[in-house]
């Protein structure tokens, strides 16, 4: 991987996008989102490494890998947003630029979804824009990387 690679990590149940609660998460599949991200990243001079796992430990491993191989990280932790101290610790240890992303506005959801355990380790959080949030996150990450290199 090059220094211009962006890791985009997706947590539990995001493999079900397009079928799972489309009224909340939209009709785009994860493959649709990956294709849009690849095109947007290429236009900005980046490559993406796009992954999804339902397993917390795998996501932790990938965050650690991103810290050594990527220029930046976008993560949609899914339900681990609200529960994973292990993911928080991995994100906190990572020194690369990081954006937390959510398809829905977690503050407009059930009470237990309104708190993000992991957000404090991110440089910024984007939520509530559906699949378009991924492109917004790429733009935000590009801006963060430009500021860091200036």
- % of the chain surpassing 90 pLDDT: 81
In angstroms, the CA 80 to CA 86 distance is: 9
Q: Do 136 and 129 form a contact (C-beta atoms < 8 A)?
A: yes
List the domain range (segments joined by +) for residue 17.
5-149
- Convert the pLDDT of each residue in 21-40 to its tens digit: 777 777 899 999 999 999 99
SS3 101: strand
> pTM of the full predicted structure?
0.93
Please tell me the total count of domains within the chain: 1
* The pLDDT value given to residue 3: 57
What is the domain-level CATH number for residue 22? 3.40.50.9100
Active site residue 102: yes
Q: Which of 82, 102, 107, 134 is catalytic?
A: 102
d(C-alpha 141, C-alpha 89), whole Å = 21
107 included as an active-site residue:
no
- Of 84, 75, 90, nearest to 127 by C-alpha is 75
Spatial contact of 113 and 97, defined as CB atoms under 8 Å apart: no
């Amino acid at each position: 991987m090059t220094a211009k690679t962006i890791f985009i990590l997706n947590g539990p149940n995001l493999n079900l996008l397009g079928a799972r609660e489309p009224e909340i998460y939209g009709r785009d599949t994860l493959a649709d989102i990956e294709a849009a991200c690849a095109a947007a990243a290429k236009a900005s001079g980046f490559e993406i490494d796009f992954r999804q796992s339902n397993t917390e430990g795998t996501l932790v491993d990938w965050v650690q890998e991103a810290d050594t191989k990527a220029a930046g990280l976008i993560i949609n932790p899914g339900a681990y947003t609200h529960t994973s101290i292990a993911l928080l610790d991995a994100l906190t240890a990572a020194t690369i630029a990081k954006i937390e992303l959510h398809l829905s506005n977690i503050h407009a959801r059930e009470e237990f979804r309104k708190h993000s355990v992991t957000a404090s380790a991110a440089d910024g959080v984007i939520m509530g824009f559906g699949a378009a949030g991924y492109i917004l996150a790429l733009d935000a990450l590009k801006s963060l990387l430009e500021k860091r290199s200036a």
